[in-house]
Amino acid sequence: MKTQNKTLLTSLLAAVLLFSGCEHLQNPNQAQKSTNKLEAAPKAERKTLEVGTKPESVCRGFNGKLYVTMIGGNEPGDGAVYVIDGDKAKPFATGLNNPKGIAWVKGALITTDETKVMKINSKGKVSVLADAKDFPAEVEFLNDVAAARNREAVYVTEMSHPKRMFNPDGDREFWPLNSEHQNKLPKTGCVYKITLDGKVSVAVPSGDRRMPGPNGVTVTGPKEKPFLAMADFFTGNLIAYEDEKMRFIAKNLLRGADAIEFGNGVIYVSSWTQGKVISYNRKEKKSTTVIEGLTSAADFFFDRKANQLIIPDMLEGKLHFVPLAN
């Protein structure tokens, strides 16, 4: 979406996608080479925090604090990144449009903003890391962000425009799976890798019917051989990409899928359209509800030190802190 075309409709659709995440790392104990070291997280307790208009994604960043992307209202430039200070949400970086995924890498916050990827320093100064013209193909809806294991690059999903995925006569109602409407989806969804000096390359190619609209992305797998895992918004598929091959982790698991994270022997996945978060046990092929009854569960942060999920309920303007069982 272009800034100048930002209308109420496109803002709501931007909200739809929202998505996707911060500390996307299977190994949470990797050293962070920065003068702003992460502090130990406090013991988790269940709580809800009001933060403002359309929170989308969360991560820990400078001085161990939580940072939240805020899509904001309908005006160009009213998007922002807020910092959580105690139980208060305060503006940290302003002047964005529709910021979505966010990740912390080597002393900077990286967030997507429509067709750009932005870099934010410790003072809240925003600069362009990758512009639309820097991508090898046209981008429409850059969404989630995941840090590479070495923290020298990020992975960013290009979801393609969500408007095509919904029945316009319904309330956040997807077109049916395996329908004529699905067949007409453009299959432009993919994942890009962007280095911290702004070099863009394709990490996961487009064109696969199993992944028409990747939303969440995370880095997982063994230290010596990590791979990418994606949650597809339209199909609800969980997809792995390893050795230049795509494979199912789970088929049609949770439509409206947003964030995806691995931990505690399960996979955590949120659904923006269904307003819930589940854990999925691959060995047992069993899903368990972590939280439900939300309006729009967006791109949560898996706080490994405190063993909790911090979940934005985007349309309600809230963060839910949910402790997890080991």
Number of folded domains in the chain?
Answer: 1
Residue 33 lies in a domain: no
Residue 16 lies in a domain: yes
Residue with tokens 């339209």: 234
Amino acid 1: pLDDT? 40
Residue 81 lies in a domain: yes
Total H helices, total E strands in the chain: 2, 24
- pLDDT top residue among 4 and 82: 82
Helix (H) or strand (E) holding 146: strand 142-147
pLDDT in tens, 84-136: 999 999 999 999 999 999 999 988 999 999 999 999 999 999 999 999 999 99
Residue 69 lies in a domain: yes
Q: What's the whole-number mean pLDDT along residues 16-34?
A: 41
Residue 218's pLDDT band (cuts 50, 70, 90): very high
Q: What is the DSSP string of 165-218?
A: GB-TTSSSPBPPTTSHHHHTS----EEEEEETT--EEEEE-S--TT-SSEEEEE
Three-state secondary-structure class, residue 135: coil
Tell whether the model's pLDDT for residue 21 goes beyond 80: no
Q: What's the whole-number mean pLDDT along residues 304-312?
A: 96
Residue 245 lies in a domain: yes
Q: What is the CATH number of the domain that holds 240?
A: 2.120.10.30
Tokens describing residue 112: 């997507």
pLDDT in tens, 136-156: 999 999 999 999 999 999 999
d(CA 144, CA 69): 11
Residue 32 lies in a domain: no
Amino acid 44: pLDDT? 72
Residue 37's pLDDT band (cuts 50, 70, 90): very low
Domain residues for the domain of 49 are 3-27+38-323
d(CA 250, CA 273): 19
Tell whether the model's pLDDT for residue 2 goes beyond 80: no
Q: What's the whole-number mean pLDDT along residues 193-220?
A: 97
Residue 284's pLDDT band (cuts 50, 70, 90): very high
Q: What's the whole-number mean pLDDT along residues 20-32?
A: 41
Q: What is the mean pLDDT of the chain?
A: 89
Least Cα distance to 185 among 163, 206, 208, 212 occurs for 212
